[in-house]
Chain A
Amino acid sequence: MRATVIGAGVAGLACAVELAERGLAVELLERTQRLGSGCCSWYAGGMLAPWCELESAEPLIAELGAESLSWWREKFPGTVLGGSLVVAHGRDRGELKHFARRTERYEWLDGQAIAALEPDLAGRFERALYFREEGHLDPRAALAALAQRLKTLGGRIRYGAATAPDRETHGADSIIDCTGLAARQVLTDLRGVKGEMLVVRLPDLSLSRPVRVLHPRVPVYIVPRGDGHFMIGATMIESDQATRISARSMLELLGAAYALHPSFGEAEIVEIGTGVRPAFPDNLPRLCRRADTLYVNGLYRHGFLAAPALARRAADLLLTGREAPEVMH
């Protein structure tokens, strides 16, 4: 059986790998010339935080995310299972309680326990929430690893391919479209939610896990990327245009990092990125069948968190006909 997957973001790569592992001959079509920059996955935080996300997401995201955690561990050795930490500054302490009320599988830490986990944050916070079972990964390394894995399994990636309207899917038994917002003409209720992020370099500071800094208006997370690099993200703006970062967003992202630790004031700004996340009105991902194509879309801010679980369901559907009602529309 042959399958053509369209779009080499995290959804497309996860589907391609999953199908190749189940013995299909897979071709992955990507409209851009190289891995990454054409998709919003490239700008993701890479947090694998199913239970933190419950703060604003429905329980389905935690279910899919918990399943994906083990998938990533199996497929990508760079997956770090170090938990995640949630903190708030003095007068925003109420936000921490609010966060706790809506999430699960955490423990409360005092200042001492925070210092034991993250020595560089010693003395900065009195309380934190610790989600021990969560993890994180470097999205770009993870995408590259999936691409490599696909090749090892005999799959093929064609860059610069025509993906619409005359997509090159000659003779495929199955077509899986993972093109995000580009599928909007078919999936008409998709919308874009813009995100802005920064990568900074700060060799003096060390964090072992993602840290979320709560704030009533501007919650920000900081993910260590190794080698003194940190990703600071990400804004959520109802917009389908990946225009450049606004001064306000930049101020807010940097302000949150600086408030987490003043040494961020000395950090070197390595990259400024923006992407547009595809989302359905309920902000939940879907598998949709339209004509001869299965669409995997609407991963919103949960690309790395949900892609493996969706890829499994897509593969089940194509190979065994088993439906997954929780994500099918």
Chain B
Amino acid sequence: MPTPDSLRLYGVELDSRLLLGTARYPSPAILTEAVKASGAQLVTVSLRREAAGERAGQGFWSLIRDLGVRVLPNTAACHSVKEAVTTAHMAREVFGTPWVKLEVIGEDDTLQPDVFALVEAARILAREGFEVFPYTTEDLICAERLLEAGCRVLMPWGSPIGSGRGLNNLFGLKALRARFPEVPMLIDAGIGVPSHAAQSLELGFDAVLINTAVSQAVDPVRMAGAFARAVAAGREAYLAGPMEPRDMAVPSTPVIGTAFLG
């Protein structure tokens, strides 16, 4: 029997290492089914993209609340410190949680984080009592600054949001993982297929956040299930201790002692 292996984020224990984004599903009903199939216990919600104001999207918010899972509001589509901080405040009002996934977008084509503004916004929000999940790159120094600013979780990207390209910079991500072994790290953005998710867990990342890869699949519910199994397999593999790759073949059956049939 494997020992219980829960994920701890800001003091909250979660059994599932798959986080699901809630944007762009064909319908809320399919979103609900996908969340169930994924086993996710934490979903992200974009306040800005889904509704114009905190009171406006009540129908959708109540659907999200009815999912019965923990909500991690995000600041998607925010381009400045001020926007991100304001959106975080709004999220706290709507969902009554100090958790916020902090995104400050630097550039519209790649949607990559503006890490300078990110650190600044993280510092402000952490000081105000928020528990910040920053969407960042694999940059080590930036990670260090985010931790100094008060973040206790990091969400490095795999590749640009929605690109489905998987883990773009393996070296950088491994270096980041090795540099801060105690910090929970969730791979956010760029996961395209379940094998990418499994790979993230195998490398020792603590969880993955998926949105487009599920919501835009032809059958989102089925894909959510596929991701759930990939994440579980990746985590098990990590705990089991994967072998190291070698340059030469190593026979799996010992050759010493086999008959010599010249």
A residues at B contact (CB < 8 Å): 56-58, 98, 101-102, 190-192, 194, 216-217, 237-241, 243, 246, 279-284
A171 to chain B, nearest CB (A): 35
Which residues of the other chain, B, contact A56 by a CB distance below 8 angstroms?
A: 26
- Pick the residue among B30, B55, B60 that contacts A191 (CB under 8 A): B60
A219 to chain B, nearest CB (A): 10
- Pick the residue among A57, A101, A190 that contacts B59 (CB under 8 A): A190
Q: A240 and B59: CB pair below 8 A?
A: yes
- Pick the residue among B27, B32, B218 that contacts A283 (CB under 8 A): B27
With A98-B216, A101-B218, A216-B162 given, is the CB distance from A239 to B27 under 8 Å? Answer: no
Which residues of the other chain, A, contact B56 by a CB distance below 8 angstroms?
A: 194, 237-241, 243
Which residues of the other chain, B, contact A237 by a CB distance below 8 angstroms?
A: 50-52, 56-57
Binding site secondary structure of chain B:
loop
- Pick the residue among B32, B50, B216, B218 that contacts A281 (CB under 8 A): B32
Q: A282 and B218: CB pair below 8 A?
A: no
| B32, B53, B57, B218 pick with most chain A CB within 10 angstroms | B57
Q: A281 and B26: CB pair below 8 A?
A: no
Cβ of B28 under 8 Å from chain A? yes
Complex: A283 Cα to B30 Cα, angstroms: 10
B241 to chain A, nearest CB (A): 38
Q: A57 and B26: CB pair below 8 A?
A: yes
Cβ of B58 under 8 Å from chain A? yes
A94 to chain B, nearest CB (A): 9
Complex: A243 Cα to B54 Cα, angstroms: 13
Extra pairs beyond A58-B27, A101-B218, A279-B27 (5, CB < 8 Å) = A192-B59, A238-B60, A239-B51, A239-B52, A239-B53
- The closest CB in chain B to the CB of A54 belongs to B26
Complex: A102 Cα to B27 Cα, angstroms: 15
B225 to chain A, nearest CB (A): 19
- The closest CB in chain A to the CB of B27 belongs to A283
Q: A281 and B51: CB pair below 8 A?
A: no
Complex: A225 Cα to B29 Cα, angstroms: 34
Cβ of B170 under 8 Å from chain A? no
Cβ of B175 under 8 Å from chain A? no
Complex: A217 Cα to B215 Cα, angstroms: 13
Complex: A190 Cα to B50 Cα, angstroms: 17
Q: B50 and A102: CB pair below 8 A?
A: no
With A98-B216, A216-B162 given, is the CB distance from A243 to B59 under 8 Å? Answer: no
- The closest CB in chain B to the CB of A278 belongs to B59
Q: B59 and A191: CB pair below 8 A?
A: yes
Q: B29 and A283: CB pair below 8 A?
A: yes
Q: B58 and A240: CB pair below 8 A?
A: yes
A214 to chain B, nearest CB (A): 12
- Pick the residue among B52, B55, B57, B218 that contacts A102 (CB under 8 A): B218
Q: A283 and B53: CB pair below 8 A?
A: no
B residues at A contact (CB < 8 Å): 26-30, 32, 50-53, 55-60, 63, 162, 216, 218
Complex: A101 Cα to B216 Cα, angstroms: 11
- The closest CB in chain B to the CB of A300 belongs to B27
A-B pairs with beta carbons under 8 Å apart, 25 shown: A98-B216, A102-B218, A190-B59, A191-B58, A217-B162, A237-B50, A237-B51, A237-B52, A237-B57, A238-B56, A239-B50, A239-B51, A239-B52, A239-B57, A241-B53, A241-B55, A243-B52, A243-B56, A280-B29, A281-B28, A281-B29, A281-B63, A282-B27, A282-B28, A283-B27
Which residues of the other chain, B, contact A101 by a CB distance below 8 angstroms?
A: 218
With A101-B218, A216-B162, A240-B59 given, is the CB distance from A194 to B52 under 8 Å? Answer: yes
Which residues of the other chain, A, contact B216 by a CB distance below 8 angstroms?
A: 98
B54 to chain A, nearest CB (A): 10
Which residues of the other chain, B, contact A241 by a CB distance below 8 angstroms?
A: 52-53, 55-56
Q: A246 and B52: CB pair below 8 A?
A: yes
With A191-B63, A243-B56, A281-B32 given, is the CB distance from A238 to B50 under 8 Å? Answer: yes
B185 to chain A, nearest CB (A): 26
- The closest CB in chain B to the CB of A280 belongs to B29
Complex: A98 Cα to B60 Cα, angstroms: 26
Which residues of the other chain, A, contact B50 by a CB distance below 8 angstroms?
A: 237-239
Complex: A56 Cα to B217 Cα, angstroms: 11
A249 to chain B, nearest CB (A): 9
| B27, B59, B63 pick with most chain A CB within 10 angstroms | B59
Which residues of the other chain, B, contact A282 by a CB distance below 8 angstroms?
A: 27-30
Which residues of the other chain, B, contact A283 by a CB distance below 8 angstroms?
A: 26-29
Which residues of the other chain, B, contact A284 by a CB distance below 8 angstroms?
A: 27
Shortest beta-carbon contacts, A-B, top 10? A191-B59, A238-B60, A282-B29, A239-B56, A283-B27, A238-B50, A281-B29, A238-B57, A281-B28, A239-B51
Complex: A319 Cα to B75 Cα, angstroms: 52
Which residues of the other chain, A, contact B57 by a CB distance below 8 angstroms?
A: 237-240
- The closest CB in chain B to the CB of A235 belongs to B52
Q: A238 and B51: CB pair below 8 A?
A: yes
B75 to chain A, nearest CB (A): 15
Complex: A243 Cα to B29 Cα, angstroms: 26
